[in-house]
Amino acid sequence: MYDVIVVGGSFAGLSAAMQLARARQKVLVIDAGMPRNRFADEAHGFLGQDGRAPMAIMRDARCQLQRYSTVALLSGEAEAARTIGDGFAVELSGGSEHRAKRLILATGVADTLPPLEGMRERWGATVLHCPYCHGYEMRDLPLGVIAAHPLSAHQALLIPDWGPTTYFTQGQFEPEPPERDAFAARGITIERTPVVALLGDAPALDGVRLADGRFVAVGAVFTAPRTTPATPLAALLGCAHEEGPTGPYVKVDQWGATSIAGIWAAGDAATPLHNATLAAAAGVLAGIGAHQASVRANAA
What would the pLDDT profile of 11-20 be if each residue is shown by its tens digit? 999 999 999 9
Q: Tell me the mean pLDDT in the region 226-230.
A: 94
Q: Tell me the mean pLDDT in the region 223-251.
A: 95
Q: pLDDT band for 292, please (50, 70, 90 cuts).
A: very high
Q: How crowded is residue 227: how many other Cβ atoms within 10 Å of its Cβ? A: 23
Q: What percent of the chain has pLDDT over 90?
A: 87
Give the domain 2-111+226-299 fold: FAD/NAD(P)-binding domain (3.50.50)
Question: Tell me, what's the pLDDT at 34?
Answer: 85
Q: Tell me the mean pLDDT in the region 194-201.
A: 98
Question: In this structure, what are the phi and psi dihedrals at residue 10, rounded to the nearest 5 degrees?
Answer: -105, -155
Q: Where in the chain is the domain with CATH 3.50.50.60?
A: 2-111+226-299, 114-222
Q: Please indicate whether residue 270 or residue 39 has the higher confidence score (pLDDT).
A: 270
Assign domain 114-222 to a CATH class.
alpha beta
pTM score of the predicted model: 0.92
Separation CA 192–CA 67 (nearest Å): 56
pLDDT of residue 40 exceeding 90, the answer is no
pLDDT of residue 172 exceeding 90, the answer is yes
Q: Which amino acid is at 195?
A: V
Question: Tell me, what's the pLDDT at 31?
Answer: 96
Question: Tell me, what's the pLDDT at 75?
Answer: 94
Q: Please indicate whether residue 156 or residue 37 has the higher confidence score (pLDDT).
A: 156
Q: pLDDT band for 47, please (50, 70, 90 cuts).
A: confident
DSSP state of 268: G
Q: Report how far apart, in Å, the C-alpha atoms of 121 and of each of 51, 128, 132, 141, 266 are.
A: 21, 12, 21, 20, 28
pLDDT of residue 300 exceeding 80, the answer is no
